[in-house]
């Protein structure tokens, strides 16, 4: 009896826990419907995704390119994460009027602040275009696959954008086994409505980042504006708030252990079908390289930022982004090892090869082909990472690199006209590259990161500028001094830093002289070496990977044909369903599924860079002034909670919804114990960290004085 129960228990937990893994396509969500219902969902598939009637998808946007946002009122009010609005908020701030530091709330529409460059896109529809794309690509290989894909995608998107009303995109799924068309409507008049002060919106800073327990109130609010026909329009004072087809009601009922939770948004990238060879490369080469380079870069940035509040503000957003993925790769490596993902992948691969033996003989060399491709690529893998992360890091280098096209065009004997056009583009590019640039900081990054590039990339792969210029002219036993001296020379003698001089030189007349500029010659020497000698090998590896991955995932689709198999994330809208729930991160340790205001006060440390809070907030917390937002059972203010939903970067800002499609939180992070999640989902540990809707509303109302915003929302009590 006991035995049977035990087996049943195993079976049922597997059935239950299987469901939370997966980033499902909204178009096909009907396939998951039974599982979702079993877990508690009260909506129909059409209420989640429909192209005829309003559905949840109409409330969800891709925010600013890399995040997710959701409509929470019929007047275009948008909720996303603080770290998603961060760049825009920093851009609107000055040292004397610092919305990032102090927080902000527009109490009238007139006080809302336009955010130039920010846009959001709504999903109009999805269509399976596999047959069209696959037949057009045929048996092309390598570069030709890309070319044919671009050509056929162009025809398909052109036919679908309805005279420029929409924009569309064809995306590959299951590594080129399926293709779908996505049609979007993009809005560009987006205005800043409100955000908590940074020390609450980013409470815990990099120390708490990627970790549970968490108390961060990671939200910000914007408003989408449209013209009088409710259509996208460039900023105009006459625009009015957009009326979305659907907006999410906000639930103040709160969450319980095991409650149904559903997340919709735009996960960016996962590699769940990565092989053991890829895991090995990540653990031993790519991840440690990224971490080492970023460690150095961040310490230089910190030093300069601490000297000057203007530099601090200018670099705050880029610092946060670099630090975010610095810690991410530390955690990913740690958990790939801890959870023995390499071993698990090997078992999967053996199992697959067993299946292939009796099902598809053409696959019998698949894994050894993978092994061979990775082995061929291995000697250049570091170079690829250092080129991107170290060499190309300084703004000056990026500008120097942009002359590559000009130099090519000159060699091809192109007309003055086309050279002038390219120069104009470089001039424009310079504006955004140098907008927040501090020369000292950039020079120090240049010196130290190029030294790393020199030291860590195999000598046989070096560009000749190292021997012929850097060491020929500045060589000493102290390599740091060599690179410092060389950096000083470049930064003191380049014309690229002087905007007037550069503007007068960036044209077909003076281009020869510019191409002799020390910043340009350095950049182009490294670029040429890389592109002529190493990029072809890296491309060859990527083409191999495309072929192998297509074969592998195509076969997995066959092998799993009686099960559902979700595609890797690719910045298209996905649905994840799961439950609110605690976890045990290690022996004898239990993590509860929610945190509270008391915990926030416990962490609070006056004057600390990461754990400080404004006195007003401390007072409210100490007085337990939680208003209507207190948890009904415990009376405390619940701050954050966790679910076992499957999300990744790009989902930031996604709505966390209950069984009725009401907003219960805003997803903002993943947890440390499952940092290998983008490569392998761990059923025991993987959690999504969410700011509780009641915490957000408490901050809007009590901290920021934005009660009027709550009045335009649909509140469910
Ligand atoms: N880890 C979060 C994510 O990628 C971002 C958190 C931003 N906060 C920070 N301290 N950098 O979604």
> Rounded to an integer, what distance in angstroms lies between the CA atom of residue 79 and that of residue 60?
10
The pLDDT, as a whole number, for residue 434 is 96
Three-state DSSP class for 376?
helix
Mean pLDDT throughout 658-679? 98
The pLDDT, as a whole number, for residue 16 is 40
> Over 90: is that where the pLDDT of 3 sits?
no
Ligand 1 neighbourhood includes 320 CB (under 6 angstroms): yes
Question: Using 50, 70 and 90 to split pLDDT, how confident is the model at 655?
Answer: very high
Ligand 1 neighbourhood includes 79 CB (under 6 angstroms): no
In the chain, what are the helix, strand and coil shares in percent, each to the nearest 5?
A: 50, 15, 35
Ligand 1 centre from 145 Cα, in Å? Answer: 36
Among residues 617, 616, 637, 634, which one has the least CA distance to residue 626?
637
**pLDDT tens for residues 34-67?**
999 999 999 999 999 999 999 999 999 999 989 9
**pLDDT tens for residues 67-114?**
999 999 999 999 999 999 999 999 999 999 999 999 999 999 999 999
Counting ligand 1 atoms within 8 A of each CB, the residue from 66, 69, 81, 83 with the most, and so the one to mutate, is 83
CATH number, domain with residue 620: 2.40.10
Ligand 1 neighbourhood includes 210 CB (under 6 angstroms): yes
Count other C-beta atoms under 10 Å from residue 116's C-beta: 11
Ligand 1 centre from 317 Cα, in Å? Answer: 11
The residues facing 128 across adjacent strands are: 180
Residue 399 · residue 426 · CB < 8 Å: yes
User: Quick one: residue 663, left, alpha or beta (phi over 0 = left, psi -120 to 50 = alpha)?
Assistant: beta
Q: Is residue 623 part of a domain?
A: yes
Count other C-beta atoms under 10 Å from residue 599's C-beta: 17
The pLDDT, as a whole number, for residue 704 is 98
Assess whether 402 and 454 both reside in one domain: yes
Q: Tokens in use for 538?
A: 């890296």
**pLDDT tens for residues 551-594?**
999 999 999 999 999 999 999 999 999 999 999 999 999 999 99
Domain end residue (candidates: 479, 508, 533)? 533
Assess whether 363 and 400 both reside in one domain: no
Output the residue whose Cα is nearest ligand 1's atom 7: 83
Counting ligand 1 atoms within 8 A of each CB, the residue from 669, 672, 687 with the most, and so the one to mutate, is 669
Three-state DSSP class for 40?
coil
Assess whether 51 and 20 both reside in one domain: yes
Q: Is residue 660 part of a domain?
A: yes
Q: Is residue 688 part of a domain?
A: yes
**pLDDT tens for residues 365-414?**
999 999 999 999 999 999 999 999 999 999 999 999 999 999 999 999 99
Assess whether 402 and 528 both reside in one domain: yes
The pLDDT, as a whole number, for residue 162 is 77
Among residues 444, 457, 517, which one has the least CA distance to residue 483?
444
Ligand 1 centre from 326 Cα, in Å? Answer: 11
> Over 50: is that where the pLDDT of 7 sits?
no
> Rounded to an integer, what distance in angstroms lies between the CA atom of residue 134 and that of residue 177?
8
In the set 220, 286, 508, 652, the catalytic residue is 652
The DSSP code for 362 is G
Assess whether 302 and 229 both reside in one domain: no
Assess whether 504 and 405 both reside in one domain: yes
The closest-lying atom of ligand 1 relative to the alpha carbon of residue 216 is 8
Ligand 1 neighbourhood includes 652 CB (under 6 angstroms): yes
Q: Is residue 241 part of a domain?
A: yes
> Rounded to an integer, what distance in angstroms lies between the CA atom of residue 129 and that of residue 102?
48
The residues facing 586 across adjacent strands are: 589
Q: Is residue 255 part of a domain?
A: no
Q: Is residue 555 part of a domain?
A: no
Mean pLDDT throughout 194-203? 98
Q: Is residue 462 part of a domain?
A: yes
The pLDDT, as a whole number, for residue 457 is 98
The pLDDT, as a whole number, for residue 5 is 42
Residue 189 bears catalytic tag: no
The parent domain of residue 584 ranges over 574-716
Ligand 1 centre from 668 Cα, in Å? Answer: 7
Counting ligand 1 atoms within 8 A of each CB, the residue from 316, 324, 675 with the most, and so the one to mutate, is 324
In the set 20, 55, 82, 83, the catalytic residue is 83
Residue 484 bears catalytic tag: no
> Over 70: is that where the pLDDT of 226 sits?
yes
The pLDDT, as a whole number, for residue 554 is 97
**pLDDT tens for residues 325-337?**
999 999 999 999 9
Share above pLDDT 70 across residues of the chain, in percent, rounded to a whole number: 97
Ligand 1 neighbourhood includes 83 CB (under 6 angstroms): yes
Model pTM greater than 0.85?
Answer: yes
Assess whether 136 and 228 both reside in one domain: yes
Three-state DSSP class for 24?
strand
User: Quick one: residue 553, left, alpha or beta (phi over 0 = left, psi -120 to 50 = alpha)?
Assistant: alpha
Ligand 1 neighbourhood includes 610 CB (under 6 angstroms): no
Assess whether 411 and 339 both reside in one domain: no
Residue 119 bears catalytic tag: no
Residue 653 · residue 79 · CB < 8 Å: yes
Question: Using 50, 70 and 90 to split pLDDT, how confident is the model at 13?
Answer: very low
Ligand 1 neighbourhood includes 688 CB (under 6 angstroms): no
Domain end residue (candidates: 504, 533, 562)? 533
Question: Using 50, 70 and 90 to split pLDDT, how confident is the model at 224?
Answer: very high
> Over 70: is that where the pLDDT of 451 sits?
yes
Ligand 1 neighbourhood includes 649 CB (under 6 angstroms): yes
Ligand 1 centre from 711 Cα, in Å? Answer: 30
Output the residue whose Cα is nearest ligand 1's atom 2: 669
Domain end residue (candidates: 502, 533, 564)? 533
Mean pLDDT throughout 133-142? 95
Ligand 1 neighbourhood includes 102 CB (under 6 angstroms): no
**pLDDT tens for residues 139-166?**
999 999 999 999 999 999 999 887 778 9
The pLDDT, as a whole number, for residue 165 is 86
The DSSP code for 177 is T
Q: Tokens in use for 586?
A: 């290690």
The closest-lying atom of ligand 1 relative to the alpha carbon of residue 206 is 10
Assess whether 294 and 399 both reside in one domain: no
Q: Is residue 382 part of a domain?
A: no
Is the peptide bond between 61 and the residue preceding it cis, with omega within 30 degrees of 0?
no
Assess whether 335 and 468 both reside in one domain: no
Per-residue H/E/C for 515-560: CCCHHHHHHHHHHHHHHHHCHHHHHHHHHHHHHHHHHHHHHHHHHC
Ligand 1 neighbourhood includes 173 CB (under 6 angstroms): no
User: Quick one: residue 673, left, alpha or beta (phi over 0 = left, psi -120 to 50 = alpha)?
Assistant: alpha
Ligand 1 centre from 339 Cα, in Å? Answer: 23
* Count of structural domains, the chain: 4
Contacts of 396 (CB under 8 A, 6+ apart): 442, 443, 446, 490, 491, 494, 496, 497, 519
Ligand 1 centre from 661 Cα, in Å? Answer: 26
Share above pLDDT 90 across residues of the chain, in percent, rounded to a whole number: 96
Q: Tokens in use for 131?
A: 């047959």
Ligand 1 neighbourhood includes 212 CB (under 6 angstroms): no
Ligand 1 neighbourhood includes 381 CB (under 6 angstroms): no
Assess whether 362 and 423 both reside in one domain: no
Residue 400 · residue 407 · CB < 8 Å: no
**pLDDT tens for residues 519-561?**
999 999 999 999 999 999 999 999 999 999 999 999 999 999 9
Length of the chain: 717
Assess whether 605 and 462 both reside in one domain: no
- What integer best gives the mean pLDDT of the chain? 96
């Amino acid at each position: 009896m006991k035995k049977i129960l035990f087996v049943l228990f195993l079976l049922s937990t597997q059935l239950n826990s299987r469901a939370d893994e997966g980033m499902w396509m909204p178009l096909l969500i009907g396939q998951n419907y039974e599982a979702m219902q079993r877990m508690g969902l009260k909506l129909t598939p059409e209420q989640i995704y429909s192209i005829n009637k309003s559905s949840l998808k109409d409330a969800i946007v891709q925010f600013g390119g890399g995040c997710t946002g959701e409509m929470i009122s019929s007047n275009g009010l948008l909720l996303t994460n603080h770290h998603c609005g961060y760049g825009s908020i920093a851009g609107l701030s000055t040292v004397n009027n610092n919305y990032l530091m102090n927080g902000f709330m527009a109490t009238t529409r007139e006080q809302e602040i336009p955010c130039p460059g920010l846009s959001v896109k709504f999903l109009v529809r999805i269509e399976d275009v596999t047959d069209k794309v696959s037949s057009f690509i045929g048996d092309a290989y390598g570069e030709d696959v890309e070319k044919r894909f671009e050509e056929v995608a162009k025809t398909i998107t052109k036919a679908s954008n309805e005279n420029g009303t929409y924009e569309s995109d064809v995306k590959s799924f299951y590594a080129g086994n399926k293709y779908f068309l996505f049609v979007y409507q993009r809005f560009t008049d987006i205005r800043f409505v409100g955000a908590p002060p940074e020390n609450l919106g980013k409470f815990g800073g990099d120390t708490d980042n990627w970790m549970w327990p968490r108390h961060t109130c990671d939200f910000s609010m914007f408003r989408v504006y449209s013209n009088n026909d409710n259509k996208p329009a460039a900023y105009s004072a006459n625009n009015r708030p957009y009326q979305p087809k659907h907006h999410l009601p906000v639930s103040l009922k709160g969450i319980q252990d095991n409650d149904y939770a559903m997340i919709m948004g735009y996960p960016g990238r996962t590699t769940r079908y990565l092989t053991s060879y890829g895991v090995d490369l990540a653990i031993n080469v790519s991840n440690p390289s990224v971490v080492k380079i970023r460690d150095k870069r961040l310490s230089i940035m910190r030093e300069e930022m601490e000297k000057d509040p203007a530099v601090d503000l200018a670099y705050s957003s880029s610092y946060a982004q670099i630090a975010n993925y610095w810690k991410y790769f530390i955690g990913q490596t740690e958990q790939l090892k801890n959870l023995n993902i390499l071993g698990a992948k090997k078992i999967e691969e053996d199992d697959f090869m067993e299946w292939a033996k009796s099902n598809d003989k053409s696959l019998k060399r698949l894994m050894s082909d993978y092994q061979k491709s990775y082995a061929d690529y291995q000697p250049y893998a570091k170079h690829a990472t250092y080129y991107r992360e170290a060499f190309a890091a300084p703004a000056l280098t990026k500008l120097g690199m942009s002359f590559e096209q000009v130099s090519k065009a000159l060699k091809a004997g192109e007309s003055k006209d086309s050279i002038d056009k390219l120069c104009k583009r470089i001039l424009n590019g310079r504006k955004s590259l140098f907008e927040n640039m501090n020369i000292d900081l950039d020079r120090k990054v240049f010196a130290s990161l190029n030294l790393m590039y020199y030291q860590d990339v195999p000598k046989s792969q070096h560009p000749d500028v190292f021997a012929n210029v850097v060491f020929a002219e500045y060589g000493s036993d102290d390599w740091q001094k060599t690179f410092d001296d060389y950096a000083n020379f470049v930064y003191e003698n380049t014309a690229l830093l002087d905007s007037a001089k550069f503007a007068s030189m960036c044209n077909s007349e003076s281009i020869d002289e510019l191409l002799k500029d020390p910043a340009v010659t350095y950049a182009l020497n490294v670029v040429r070496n890389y592109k002529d000698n190493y990029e072809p090998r890296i491309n060859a590896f990527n083409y191999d990977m495309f072929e192998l991955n297509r074969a592998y995932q195509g076969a997995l689709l066959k092998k799993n044909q009686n099960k559902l198999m979700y595609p890797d994330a690719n910045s298209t809208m996905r649905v994840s369903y799961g439950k609110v729930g605690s976890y045990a991160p290690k022996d004898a340790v239990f993590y509860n599924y929610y945190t509270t205001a008391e915990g926030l006060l416990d962490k609070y440390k006056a004057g600390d860079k990461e754990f400080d809070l404004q006195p007003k907030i401390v007072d409210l917390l100490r007085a337990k002034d939680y208003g209507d937002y207190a948890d009904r059972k415990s009376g405390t203010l619940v701050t954050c909670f966790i679910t076992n939903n499957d999300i990744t970067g790009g989902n930031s800002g996604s709505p966390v919804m209950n069984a009725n499609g009401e907003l219960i939180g805003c997803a903002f992070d993943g947890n440390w114990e499952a940092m290998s999640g983008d490569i392998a989902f761990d059923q025991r540990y993987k959690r999504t960290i969410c700011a509780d809707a009641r915490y957000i509303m408490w901050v809007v109302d009590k901290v920021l004085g934005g009660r009027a915003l709550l009045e335009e929302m649909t509140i469910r009590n």
